[in-house]
A and B are shown apart, each in its own frame.
Chain A
């Protein structure tokens, strides 16, 4: 009988990595590219002490996730660099999302409206044809080969002729510039006639709409428009499913303070209506929503509770075979469980404002992000980068305000973020921070964005790591925007328990 050599500590070096204690017994270690390992408490101290045994499963896992390297794996540094570049791909392409505010007019008066919408008959708040032309010109100067034009308002269908104009012009110009262009129409759907829906089908336009919950909640929030806004919405949504196709229609819900005790009702409504995803959006305290600013801190706390309850319920429904994803959690899971960025401006570092998205207001002003133009309606032009009539695309992108915004939203150099284990998955919401504290770069321990995301990442990691195979498959389906697979989720993720 031979006795093998006792295992010896491996000779290894560390790559940069971050860690946090998940609970009393476990530590989460995340690599520079966002791959992660969950290990027993004390693992980080053992890594530092050079005490990880070479023939252990942990050693192999830490090497595979590029937390440590040895003589055999030192050549894989380039691979890690490629992974980092992939995760930061949004930095390289130029703004791909172009939000065009065709009008501020709206046929409804939603109590949480952030956009300072105007009366339906006040046509001076429409974008002129000349401004549409200049806007499309600027959009086509983006370095991105694939651009999305998101048509917003107000309610853009109060000026459907302008929707036709910008779609037609964008298609022509995109062809000349050899770009691919896609369209999203943000609408409350109540003015979406069959003619409008046929146009969307013909032009391959996706529809992004909003539903506040069951009839009582929806009608209470909407204020004006139809006697039964909810009934009208449902009827038009069904037509949109029929004509445009259910895959081309998505919906979000803005959680106004009076709705904070209804997470289950709201999700049930989305399921009942046949939607496969719900985006639970918190109120941004601009526009009409400033009426709740005094209770902002309490709202923040309550929204977090609401959100986690909603996630619990959505997971429970999926476990029973009902397919419903929460869209924001899906974005977070996409970042956690895949090598790719999420394409969501507030989940990027630096924030995607100006580099991933530009917003063109009805009067030609260009803003770094959508909420920037909403703030401008309140007289604050902090996020204004220029105007399509007086500034070139280069001048907009080179605006010192944008440079400053990028610096202030770069988590890699922000105290509290730079060594956070969740840095590879997180981002920054400059407008939310600005409206809370008057500055973009807020000390992280005071940041609402930080507090919310720390709690949600904790929740998602705990559920993913402690959950059974079905829970993991549900999360993977959310991350990949696909139906829940019947296979085993092990190996599909990027983690070790």
Chain B
């Protein structure tokens, strides 16, 4: 199993930990997912060894983590991994698009700056 989660509190889901296989998910995707959860939880991210990331989500004050938070985290991680792959594949095209869209503007600004 690439990932697992557990509740660390017997009383309720105040804290949830998730183990992630580093061979399946990129660091960018893991970071993006942790960031996404910062509205609900404080996040502690560690890499205990080269093969795993370890994430601990601790509920923010006044917010309780629902029982499916770990599953929601994994869903979001999967989405973010795909986003990372799309970005990796299309970053160069995006640069060309932006340059093409605004090339005349850049020239105008440059001309204004020199005059």
A446 adjacent to B93 (CB under 8 Å):
no
Beyond A32-B97, A84-B98, A446-B39, list 9 extra A-B contacts (CB 8 Å): A14-B89, A14-B93, A20-B79, A44-B82, A77-B100, A91-B105, A92-B105, A416-B36, A445-B38
Is B71 an interface position by the 8 A CB rule? Answer: no
Interface string of B54-81 (1 = CB under 8 A from A): 0000000000000000000000000110
On whether the beta carbons of B90 and A14 are closer than 8 Å, the reply is yes
B86 touches A445 (CB 8 A): no
Q: Are B35 and A48 in contact (CB under 8 A)?
A: no
- Chain A, range 18-33, C-beta contacts under 8 Å to B: 18-21, 32
- Is A294 close to B, CB under 8 A? no
Candidates A16, A85, A445; contact of B37 at CB < 8 Å: A445
Residues of B within 8 A of A15 (CB): 90, 93, 97
User: 8 Å CB contacts to A: which residues of B18-45?
Assistant: 32, 35-40
Chain A residues contacting B90 (CB-CB under 8 Å) are 14-17
User: Once the chains bind, are A416 and B100 in contact (CB under 8 Å)?
Assistant: no
B101: contacting residue among A48, A85, A419, A451, CB under 8 A: A85
* A88 adjacent to chain B (CB < 8 Å): yes
With A44-B82, A78-B100, A445-B35 already in contact, the answer to whether A32 and B94 are too (CB < 8 A) is yes
Closest B residue by C-beta to A418: B87
Query: Is A486 part of the contact surface with B, judged by Cβ < 8 Å?
Result: no
Which of B39, B87, B94, B97 has the most chain A CB atoms closer than 10 A to its own CB? Answer: B97
Closest residue on chain B to residue A18 by CB atoms: B83
Q: Which residues of B contact A16 (CB under 8 A)?
A: 86-87, 90-91, 93-94, 97
| B4 adjacent to chain A (CB < 8 Å) | no
Q: A445-B40, A446-B39 are in contact. Are A85 and B102 (CB under 8 A)?
A: yes
* A77 and B98 alpha carbons, distance in the complex (Å): 11
Query: A14-B89, A416-B36, A443-B38 given as contacts; is B97 within 8 A of A84 (CB)?
Result: yes
Of B86, B94, B96, chain A has the most CB atoms within 10 Å of the CB of: B86
- The reply to whether B93 and A445 form a contact with Cβ atoms under 8 Å apart is no
- In the complex, which residues of chain A have a beta carbon less than 8 angstroms from the beta carbon of B86? 14, 16-17, 44, 48
With an 8 A cutoff between CB atoms, is B6 at the interface? no
Please, which residues of chain B bring their CB within 8 A of the CB of A88? 101-102
Known A14-B90, A445-B40, A446-B39; contact A48-B97, beta-carbon cutoff 8 A: no
Q: Which residues of A contact B40 (CB under 8 A)?
A: 445
Measured CA separation A262–B37 after assembly (Å)? 34
Bound Cα distance from A350 to B36, whole angstroms: 21
A443 near B102 with CB under 8 A, answer no
A78 / chain B contacts, CB cutoff of 8 Å: 100
A404-437 CB contact bits vs B (8 Å, 1 = yes)?
0000000000011001000000000000000000
Which residues of B are found within 8 Å of A443, using beta-carbon distances?
35, 38-39
* Complex alpha-carbon distance, A18 and B94, angstroms: 12
A82 within 8 A of B: yes
How many chain A residues have a CB neighbour from B under 8 Å?
30
**CA separation between A415 and B34, bound complex, in Å?**
11
List 29 A-B residue pairs with CB atoms under 8 Å apart, sorted by A's residue number.
A14-B89, A14-B90, A16-B86, A16-B87, A16-B97, A17-B86, A17-B90, A19-B82, A21-B79, A32-B97, A44-B82, A44-B86, A48-B85, A77-B97, A78-B100, A81-B101, A82-B101, A84-B101, A85-B102, A88-B101, A419-B83, A443-B35, A445-B36, A445-B37, A445-B38, A445-B39, A445-B40, A446-B39, A451-B39
**Could you mark each residue 35-64 of chain A with 1 if its beta carbon is under 8 Å from any beta carbon of chain B, else 0?**
000000000110010000000000000000
Binding site for A on B (CB under 8 A): 32, 35-40, 79-80, 82-83, 85-87, 89-91, 93-94, 96-98, 100-102, 105
Interface residue? A289 (CB, 8 A): no
Q: Which 8 A-B pairs have the closest CB atoms?
A: A445-B39, A81-B100, A16-B90, A81-B101, A85-B101, A16-B94, A84-B101, A419-B83
Contact A415 B100 (CB under 8 A): no
Contacts of B37 in A (CB 8 A): 445
| A456: B residues at CB distance < 8 A | none
A419 cross-chain contacts in B, Cβ below 8 A? 32, 80, 83, 87
CB-CB under 8 A from A460, the residues of chain B are none
B114 to chain A, nearest CB (A): 15
User: CA separation between A82 and B82, bound complex, in Å?
Assistant: 27
- Give the Cβ gap from A261 to chain B, nearest Cβ, in Å: 24
A286 to nearest B CB, angstroms? 24
- B64 → chain A, closest Cβ, in Å? 16
Give chain A residues whose Cβ lies under 8 Å from the Cβ of B98.
84
A15–B100 Cα gap in the complex (Å)? 14
A326 to B46, CA, bound (A): 47
How many Å from the CB of B68 to the closest CB on chain A? 14
List residues of chain B with CB within 8 A of the CB of A416: 35-36
B contact residues around A85 at 8 Å (CB): 101-102
Q: How far is the CB of B42 from chain A (nearest CB, A)?
A: 12
Nearest CB in chain A: distance from B25 CB, A? 14
Cβ–Cβ < 8 Å partners of B79 in chain A: 19-21
Q: Is A275 an interface residue (CB 8 A)?
A: no
Residues of A207-241 whose CB lies within 8 A of B = none
